[in-house]
Structure 1
Amino acid sequence: MASLTITSLYAGILALIYIVLSVRIIQLRWRHRVGIGTNKVEELQRAVRAHGNFIEYVPLMLLMFALIEFNGVGSTWVYALGGVLTVARIAHALGLSSSAGVSLPRTIGVAGTFGVLLLQAGILIGIFVGQA
């Protein structure tokens, strides 16, 4: 049975990032006395969006990591893609936390996330084609 130790590592690391993003929202809700929604507080809107964007991409990508690792793709690929995704998600969160506009960290985050997602898709399609 295949072990998913590398995927487990990145799931743990990314879960910690998710907790940080969640705690940031809680802090801002307390500071601005906002129970639900954002009450049009820009700083809270950006924090909610960074959190939402993270949860929109990361679960699918972790599933794809698990499928890649389970299918025996070299550990170097899984480590490299996981590292890039981790850096990309941190950069994106930092960029969006500082500005709703275009920023270098946010651009790095988007490019890194999409690059990993495209490579994951290519690897998984390649696995299928190779076995079909």
Structure 2
Amino acid sequence: MPLPLTTVGLYASLLVVIYLILAARIIRLRWRYRVGIGEGDALPLKVAIRVHGNFAEYVPLALLLLGFMEIQMASTALLHVLGAALVIARISHAMGLTRSIGSSWMRMLGMILTFSVLLVSAGFLLGQYISFHWM
């Protein structure tokens, strides 16, 4: 009998869908601008590659931390808040950067939420470590 999907598994699955959408966007733009490798001179392709790269830089670490939190029996509510915040953050960042290569409120919201998820997760795990080893 399979185990039920974990809370972090749910958010990992949702984030994989976003990741694939971002990857498909790059493929579509490569076809449109006839760029086989690299970025070429097409600004929309450069932006799409950067959006995808930024996602790939932050999401795996955030999911790893959330997974460790789940192993440490963090509350399901906290995991849902952090997981939902991460999904909203990455969608917001992608939309903000796609609409404007300069600063935008959506891009800023995406980074603030992403950093918040990372900081809260790291803080939780550090607190768990300290309470177990030094108290």
What TM-score bracket applies, with the shorter chain setting the length?
over 0.9
Aligned equivalents of 1:77, 1:3: Cα separation in 2: 18
Runs of 4+ in 1 over 4 A off after TM superposition: none
Percent of matched pairs sharing the same residue: 46
Whichever residue aligns with residue 5 of structure 1, its letter is T
What 5-or-longer segments of structure 1 have no aligned partner? none
Aligned partner of 2:98 in structure 1 is 97
Aligned partner of 2:32 in structure 1 is 31
- RMSD value, Cα: 1.3
TM-score, length of structure 2 as denominator length: 0.94
2:55 aligned with 1:54? yes
Alignment of 1:73-112 (within 5 A): 73-112=74-113
* Contact 1:4–1:66 (8 Å) recurs in 2: no
Whichever residue aligns with residue 69 of structure 2, its letter is I
Deviation at 1:99, TM superposition (A): 1.3
Aligned partner of 1:115 in structure 2 is 116
Aligned equivalents of 1:117, 1:63: Cα separation in 2: 10
What 5-or-longer segments of structure 2 have no aligned partner? none
Whichever residue aligns with residue 21 of structure 1, its letter is L
